[in-house]
Structure 1
Amino acid sequence: MSFKDIPSLASKVAIVTGANSGIGLVTARELAKHDCHVILACRSRERAEPVVKALESEITNTTGKVEFMQLDMMSLKSIKQFVDEFKAKNLPLHILVNNAGIMAVPFQLSVDGIESQFATNHVGVMALTTSLLPLLESSAPARIVCVSSAAHKWAPESGIDFENINNEANYSKYTAYGQSKVATILFTRELHRQLRERGITNIHVNAVHPGVVQTNLFREQPWIIRKLLSLFQRSEDNGAKTQLYCATSEDIVKNDWSGRYFEPIAKLSESSAISQDMELAKKLWTFTEELIAKST
């Protein structure tokens, strides 16, 4: 997959979360370069606004547009505010890239009292996506891309340890990361199932593993681990290609690939057996729905 393969996205609107750095920034840049109106949904205005200015200077020869909107994926209040503000713009929505995430951080609870990795990488993604779903449906054909990881295989044997999500005494930052990323895949599969059950066939939702990429996602890791990872990390440009493929390629529609898992670069793949357990996916959906309702 090459950036040249991305079709014209004129009149399309996209939201990319965590788009001020790393593969999120590359994703936003390439969508805008192909004439898309891109919302960079980021936590820090201070870090995002210079990025928007830099991108504007890169897309002068296109009809693309970039703008910043504030969004903290660890706060359900922030997600609701973002959705309300986006709806107030009266724009359609054709592409949602759930790119923002955190990895293997020390134990912390979100403002809503949810373990931070589960809150950011799963609960926030479900809250944002389901809130924007009516807009995606009315704007369809549409794409939803959820960034997972091969590290979803680090999840506990049960996939999701529902009883201990917020239990600091039981916390392993790597297991919690794996759990949050298996949740991403389960959410993707269940959303696909629900859409098709309602007869909606023109929204394609997929999960992707971008690869081990040279980004600040690994900032919490010990120096020696960062050094070892650097030996086989792929560039940010190559890291973004799989999610760009799922967000834009005609192959997705032609093959009706939805509820699937992709790995670098742009390859349809199989995720772990537990991440394909649809009973677990339904249980997680109900659990998360209740968690969101209780926290808002």
Structure 2
Amino acid sequence: MALNQSKAFSLRDIPSLDGRVAIVTGGSDGIGYATTLQLVLHGARVYIVARSSEKATQAIANMRQSAPEKSLDIHFLQADLQSLASVMQVAKRFNEKESNLDILINNAGIMAAPYGLTEDGYETQWQTNYLSPFLLTKSLLPTMTSTARKNGPARIINVVSDAAFVPITPDLDLENPNLDHLTGFMAPWKRYCHSKMAMVLLTHHLHTLVTRDDNAMNNIKTYAVHPGFVETNLQALDPTLLGKIVKFSVRWGLVPGKVSREDGARTTLACATSDEWPILEGSGGFFRPFGQRDKQGDALVEKGRESKMEERLWDASEQMLKDKGF
């Protein structure tokens, strides 16, 4: 399955990140916590974006306690991904504080949540897993472009799932991204898969956009990352019997390939920091543990090439934002 194979990425392979600035959404828990900790331990200035101030403050305290000999450069920006206005505000606050952004990691997400609408009128998984990260990324692209001109490759990492490729994943529905017609116990999972498929397509389209020009913007690298099966709060949202079975299976290691949150962060960190050729050349692609490119993403892109699925997704996403005044 792997293309352009490189050795499995280890935490020991993370280079010095002194002078680098990063944003990690959902950086106060699970894989995001492990990712953030490694970035700051290796010298980056990291901004955690999270909804809960209390949780983020505790996470930062725990990180500092785990490395008392180091001065960790870590900060908190409060945002709710179920509010587009909140996402815009966090981008504005970041740009008021920093002129550079080397690494953007869209890590936050929800899984198989019961059907509900955000304050903006979008299904919660569609907005949290796709539309809000789209808005945040688009809002920060100018900063990343200028950073790439000065510092070399900037990186956008979208944490997705290989659920984007399972048979239950609906075709991309841009007329009704809320998928409110779906019923039954599998409906929340289908919406989850749909949102993750959109992120895989967005990742490749971003790569296409930033490499069309000959200027320094092509120093932005983009990656869709499947972290592996990690026990996190993601599995707690589906109240149905299926959700309980999934949570039990992951917790007790009944899912093949279950990894720790530290191992779950390895592929994200590989794409965010590695200068190995298979990583750099793999911009726009889908990566699985641990830092290996996988052809499933390429197959999805090829499937939609004739219908211009990526371009339609981008245009529809911009229209969704415009409809809400953004």
Q: TM-score with structure 2 length normalisation? A: 0.86
1:214 aligns with 2:214: no
Confirm or deny: 8 A CA contact 2:227 2:265 kept in the other structure: yes
Deviations, residues 55-113 of structure 1 (Å, cap 9, x unaligned)? 12334444541111101112110011001111111341100000000001100111110
- Which amino acid counterpart does residue 248 of structure 2 have in structure 1? K
Change (3 A) 1:248 1:3: same
How far, CA to CA, are the matches of 1:23 and 1:3 in structure 2? 14
1:194 aligns with 2:215: no
Matched residue, 2:318: 289
How far, CA to CA, are the matches of 1:275 and 1:151 in structure 2? 15
Moved more, 264-273 or 137-146: 264-273
Shift of 1:156: 6.1
Matched residue, 1:229: 250
Confirm or deny: 8 A CA contact 1:24 1:100 kept in the other structure: yes
How far, CA to CA, are the matches of 2:89 and 2:280 in structure 1? 36
> Aligned with 1:170: secondary structure?
coil
Confirm or deny: 8 A CA contact 1:99 1:147 kept in the other structure: yes
Matched residue, 2:176: 164
Change (3 A) 1:165 1:201: closer
1:105-124 alignment to 2 at 5 Å? 105-124=113-132
Shift of 1:275: 4.3
Confirm or deny: 8 A CA contact 2:25 2:50 kept in the other structure: yes
Change (3 A) 1:157 1:254: closer
> Aligned with 1:16: secondary structure?
strand
- Which amino acid counterpart does residue 226 of structure 1 have in structure 2? K
> Aligned with 2:265: secondary structure?
helix
Unmatched runs of 5 consecutive residues or more in structure 1: none
- Which amino acid counterpart does residue 323 of structure 2 have in structure 1? K
Deviations, residues 148-185 of structure 1 (Å, cap 9, x unaligned)? 10100247666312233235332511111111000001
1:149 aligns with 2:164: no
Matched residue, 1:178: 193
> Aligned with 2:296: secondary structure?
coil
Matched residue, 1:274: 300
Aligned alpha-carbon RMSD (Å): 1.8
> Aligned with 1:223: secondary structure?
helix
How far, CA to CA, are the matches of 1:107 and 1:78 in structure 2? 21
How far, CA to CA, are the matches of 1:255 and 1:53 in structure 2? 34
Matched residue, 1:3: 11
How far, CA to CA, are the matches of 2:66 and 2:213 in structure 1? 41
- Which amino acid counterpart does residue 188 of structure 2 have in structure 1? K
How far, CA to CA, are the matches of 2:203 and 2:160 in structure 1? 10
How far, CA to CA, are the matches of 1:29 and 1:64 in structure 2? 9
Deviations, residues 116-171 of structure 1 (Å, cap 9, x unaligned)? 11111110111000100011111112111001101002476663122332353325
Shift of 1:262: 0.2
> Aligned with 1:250: secondary structure?
coil
How far, CA to CA, are the matches of 2:273 and 2:39 in structure 1? 9
Q: TM-score with structure 1 length normalisation? A: 0.94
Confirm or deny: 8 A CA contact 1:122 1:183 kept in the other structure: yes
Change (3 A) 1:253 1:153: closer
Choose from 266, 269, 289 the match for 1:264: 289
Moved more, 23-32 or 253-262: 253-262
Confirm or deny: 8 A CA contact 2:101 2:154 kept in the other structure: yes
> Aligned with 2:207: secondary structure?
helix
How far, CA to CA, are the matches of 1:93 and 1:194 in structure 2? 18
How far, CA to CA, are the matches of 1:120 and 1:239 in structure 2? 20
How far, CA to CA, are the matches of 1:181 and 1:275 in structure 2? 14
How far, CA to CA, are the matches of 1:275 and 1:109 in structure 2? 29
Identity %: 36
- Which amino acid counterpart does residue 174 of structure 1 have in structure 2? W
Change (3 A) 1:252 1:46: farther
Shift of 1:11: 0.6
1:39 aligns with 2:47: yes
Number of matched pairs: 296
1:26-175 alignment to 2 at 5 Å? 26-62=34-70, 64-140=72-148, 141-154=153-166, 159-171=171-183, 172-175=187-190
- Which amino acid counterpart does residue 192 of structure 2 have in structure 1? Y
How far, CA to CA, are the matches of 1:7 and 1:31 in structure 2? 10
Unmatched runs of 5 consecutive residues or more in structure 2: 1-8
